[in-house]
Chain A
Amino acid sequence: MFRKSLLGLIGCLLLSFLLLAYPLYVLRPFRYQGPRELSAALAVMRLRPFLEVILVITALMFLIWVWRTTPRISRKIVALLCFLAVASCGVLSRVNVYELLFHPLDKPSFSPAPKTSLDGREQVIAINVNGAARAYPIRIISYHHLVNDVVGGVPIIATY
């Protein structure tokens, strides 16, 4: 019985690791992304939060089974470690690597043009919406890449 439970746990671990690693592998920089693998990776990312929960619950059931049926402490520890690894994959799959790298601007702040100390030669990317003018220094936006903003009352996404 222990073997079957352990196999089940290892199966859960392999699957949850694949769910975690495949999109990271496909969507990493400096690599060509083909259309089919791109849609596969995005499908994995979309279904993953749901699948990881099922895998963690399944792994937990195997763990409880091992805990109840085996007296040997070493086997309990092996099963526990497998379960923890499945749970870690579940948690890690919710981490957005790109946001760790580029730090989203959750609360962007703005200054009136005459009050900034920007060098006149600094390059900006500028938009006009409903008569309101907004400029994003390229130095800043080429780092954060995205700014969820509202200009002239219109929600816009500034991207670079």
Chain B
Amino acid sequence: MFQRTVEGVPLNFHLAGINNQNFLMRDEQTGTYWQQITGLAVAGPLAGHRLTLVAADELTFALWKSERPEGTVLNDVSRYVHDYAPEDWDVKMASTPTVISYAQAGLKPRDLMLGVRAFGASRAFPYAAVLKQKLIEDHVSGEPVLLVVGPDNLSVRVFRRRLPGSATPEFYRIPEAKEQSQSGVLLLDAQSGSRWNFHGCAIDGKFKGVCLEPLQVIKDYWFDWRNYNPQTTVYGIKQQIH
């Protein structure tokens, strides 16, 4: 997801090819070729430019609708409905061979990762581990971060774990409760006793109204993430990968 205005001109993008199992796009205004996952112009008049990333969230329709009831949804195109991804497409994709591979203890090329690029570093979190733990307190380049799984048990949001006054809170996940599904309350921070929702905002207590700074997260296959983030570290794996 990117803004598509470069130097004041809105560009129209087309699919144009494959580069190591990630799409290349071509804009019709300048004929520049762009890499889909990075938004980087790889050839043509705008080579070297990078599209501005738009933060995106992957979540269930029900959760999204509860958060943004006024939002709008892309419609099916009836002609192509039969070609759309079947329900088990991610299972099929998981066994599709890759053309590049980075050996890493316990990681397969098509393992889904949640990639965070922040504070001058990149760090990948195995999606399966995040779903299992539901709440992860970690660091990216020394900066405390928080990963939290949404009430749909599918979506994950990442926040910078800092509060006004530079305090680094520690969070606890509130056990499944009825009130949780209604108010979206997920977290409790130990110091202040504030309760926090999936937007990263405190709904009561000392920090009522305060929101944590959201960080952009990209869901990607391990081989693809590693290809474009060669310096990445991986949550749960001690050694640096180079």
The answer, among A45, A105, A111, A148, for a CB contact under 8 Å with B73, is: A111
**Neighbouring A residues of B36 by C-beta, 8 Å:** 145, 159
Which of A12-20, A58-66, A83-91, A115-123 lies at the interface? A115-123
Q: Are B60 and A120 within 8 A (Cβ)?
A: yes
The answer, among B21, B74, B100, for a CB contact under 8 Å with A137, is: B74
The answer, among B3, B54, B74, for a CB contact under 8 Å with A140, is: B74
In chain A, what residue has the closest Cβ to B32?
A: A46
Verify if A70 is at the interface (C-beta below 8 Å from B): no
Q: Are B43 and A43 within 8 A (Cβ)?
A: yes
Which of B63-71, B116-124, B137-145, B158-166 lies at the interface? B63-71
**Neighbouring B residues of A36 by C-beta, 8 Å:** none
Given contacts A113-B73, A143-B83, whether A42 and B62 have CB atoms under 8 Å apart is: no
A123 CA to B10 CA in the complex, in Å? 29
Q: Are B99 and A32 within 8 A (Cβ)?
A: yes
A158 CA to B55 CA in the complex, in Å? 11
Enumerate A121-156 residues with CB–CB distance to B below 8 Å. Answer: 121-129, 132-148, 154-156
Given contacts A46-B44, A111-B73, whether A27 and B62 have CB atoms under 8 Å apart is: no
Verify if A112 is at the interface (C-beta below 8 Å from B): yes
**Neighbouring B residues of A108 by C-beta, 8 Å:** 74-75
Q: Are A127 and B75 within 8 A (Cβ)?
A: no
Q: Are B1 and A156 within 8 A (Cβ)?
A: yes
**Neighbouring A residues of B100 by C-beta, 8 Å:** 32
Determine how close the nearest CB of chain B comes to the CB of A45; give it in whole angstroms.
7
Determine how close the nearest CB of chain B comes to the CB of A143; give it in whole angstroms.
5
The answer, among A23, A135, A143, for a CB contact under 8 Å with B17, is: A23
Given contacts A120-B62, A135-B61, whether A141 and B70 have CB atoms under 8 Å apart is: no
Verify if A114 is at the interface (C-beta below 8 Å from B): yes
Footprint of B on A, CB under 8 Å? Answer: 23, 27-33, 38-39, 41-43, 45-46, 96, 98-99, 102-105, 108-114, 116, 118-129, 132-148, 154-159
A127 CA to B53 CA in the complex, in Å? 11
Q: Are A125 and B1 within 8 A (Cβ)?
A: yes
Footprint of A on B, CB under 8 Å? Answer: 1-5, 10-21, 23-25, 31, 33, 36, 42-44, 51, 54-62, 64-65, 67-77, 79-80, 83-85, 89, 97, 99-100, 154
Determine how close the nearest CB of chain B comes to the CB of A94; give it in whole angstroms.
12
A127 CA to B72 CA in the complex, in Å? 10
Q: Are B21 and A29 within 8 A (Cβ)?
A: yes
In chain A, what residue has the closest Cβ to B44?
A: A46
Q: Are A42 and B43 within 8 A (Cβ)?
A: yes
A43 CA to B25 CA in the complex, in Å? 14
**Neighbouring A residues of B64 by C-beta, 8 Å:** 113, 124, 126, 133, 135
Q: Are B33 and A42 within 8 A (Cβ)?
A: yes
A109 CA to B79 CA in the complex, in Å? 14
**Neighbouring B residues of A157 by C-beta, 8 Å:** 1-4, 11, 13, 25, 51
In chain B, what residue has the closest Cβ to A122?
A: B61
**Neighbouring B residues of A104 by C-beta, 8 Å:** 14-15
Q: Are A154 and B74 within 8 A (Cβ)?
A: no
7 closest Cβ pairs, A-B complex: A120-B62, A133-B71, A27-B17, A133-B68, A98-B15, A42-B43, A155-B10
**Neighbouring A residues of B58 by C-beta, 8 Å:** 123-126, 138
Given contacts A29-B18, A96-B14, A123-B58, whether A42 and B44 have CB atoms under 8 Å apart is: yes
Q: Are A125 and B57 within 8 A (Cβ)?
A: yes
Q: Are A146 and B15 within 8 A (Cβ)?
A: yes
A146 CA to B25 CA in the complex, in Å? 9
Q: Are B24 and A155 within 8 A (Cβ)?
A: no
A148 CA to B88 CA in the complex, in Å? 27
**Neighbouring B residues of A154 by C-beta, 8 Å:** 3, 5
